[in-house]
Structure 1
């Protein structure tokens, strides 16, 4: 089983692409192994089907050069931050043993995002408790707790704790988003319109990225919030 450096949790397929695809690409470029675990198949979404969403997620994963991607099959809208879901997520964390976890925004327009953030946070902590027993492919798993959990910013504006410069990877980020072609604006799509299929939605994503980029004297950026203070030993590590 591939050990990942970074594991990205997403309540829905396309959350990771919209929120932190540039960061994923930048870390893969540096040689880190990155994977995405989608909680649901987005089956309650206005457009598309679970089957098309899985196909689109696979296509996006190739663009992002992921080392792993899987779907938990949780019920869209109805999944909960409870013992059953926590236990399943602990198995995944112990399976991939990431150093860093990126998770949904702590609060957002879609209630699954904040709920997914809370579930990820609790499961990451619980995964380090050795008395919680899990197994994978018939073998007992060892306890594992990621060193850091960061939350990417999604639709609602949240003041970021840090911003990643994604300027060199902007075009690839857009390509990964557009892999979810059932979800975004297409004049030939006859399905009902949705919040994210509005033709102004992707320009909004770009304007947000430009705003974050401007704050760090760059062109494009992605913002994150932290669960605890970040420590540095060298001031020149800061951009």
Structure 2
């Protein structure tokens, strides 16, 4: 099975928070999208490996994801090593996406920026013929995605472009809230974390609303790009 787009996140819930609206919109347009979680989020203050896995499965069902895998790399200690690069190369070659959506290039959690670079380098290496990888014993064909776009997470980063997610924000928030252990719940006895506050939950709406205001739509998600984008014409520009 191949995917049009592969969204990769350091932790379960990174993808939902960063680009969940874009994903559900593209799925509604017929795109096949997969998610690769690099770690199980096992160092998170709230929840466990098992709860995070169950929550990720529920979120994928809410969004309509075609496939979701977890590489079970070490949470909190991501590094741009050959071992980790090759694990991602194997998935890129397996699913052969045209576009990769990756973690923010700079962020509060150190794993996010590390993942951004790790994923970017793996995308390049995936196109090198002398690097051999295997899937169920079969030699994989090389594959290099055409684009790597980075979604925006905790920190404010000026996007290179935005995607209009008007009409899809509610579904994004529903997918995020599938992570019941992670986000705001006034009845929870777990420790309060920066993402488990009412303010953070509300920020999912007002940040999308602000990017929409700046771009002339109701709600939007922002991305940065690793290379200059070329447009065939102006037909895709909304405002």
TM-score of the aligned structures, taking structure 1 as reference length: 0.98
Match of 2:23 in 1: 24
- Note if 1:6 corresponds to 2:5: yes
What does the per-residue CA deviation read over 1:27-78, in whole Å, with 9 as the maximum and x for residues that have no partner? 1011110010000111111100010000000000001100100100001001
Distance in 2, Cα, partners of 1:125 & 1:96: 15
Matches within 5 A, 1:95-106: 95-106=94-105
CA RMSD, 1 decimal: 0.7
Q: CA deviation at 1:236?
A: 2.0
SS at match of 2:209: helix
Partner residue of 1:171?
170
1:145 aligns with 2:150: no
Cα distance in 1, alignment partners of residues 111 and 162 from structure 2: 24
TM-fit CA distance, 1:79: 2.0
Aligned length: 238
* Aligned counterparts of 1:27 and 1:43: Cα–Cα separation in 2: 30
Q: Deviations over 1:156-180 (max 9, x none)?
A: 0010000000011011011001000
Following superposition, the deviation at residue 189 of structure 1 comes to 1.1
Quote the residue 1:50 is aligned against: 49
1:191, distance to aligned residue in structure 2 (A) = 1.2
- Tell me which stretches of 4 or more aligned residues in structure 1 moved more than 6 Å: none
Unaligned runs of 5+ in 1: none
Residue in structure 2 matched with residue 220 of structure 1 by the alignment: 219
Question: Displacement of 1:188 after TM fit?
Answer: 1.6
Identify the residue that residue 121 of structure 1 maps to in structure 2.
120
Residue aligned with 1:36, SS = strand
Matches of 2:223 and 2:138, distance apart in 1: 35
CA distance in 2, matches of 1:169, 1:199: 21
- The alignment's TM-score, normalised by the length of structure 2, stands at 0.98
CA distance in 2, matches of 1:237, 1:31: 17
Note if 1:88 corresponds to 2:87. Answer: yes
Match in the other structure for 2:182: 183
Residue 223 of structure 2 aligns to a residue whose secondary structure is strand
Partner of 1:194: 193
Q: Distance in 2 between matches of 1:155 and 1:134?
A: 34
Could you say which residue in structure 2 is the equivalent of 1:15? 14
Counterpart CA distance in 2 for 1:208 and 1:168 is: 15
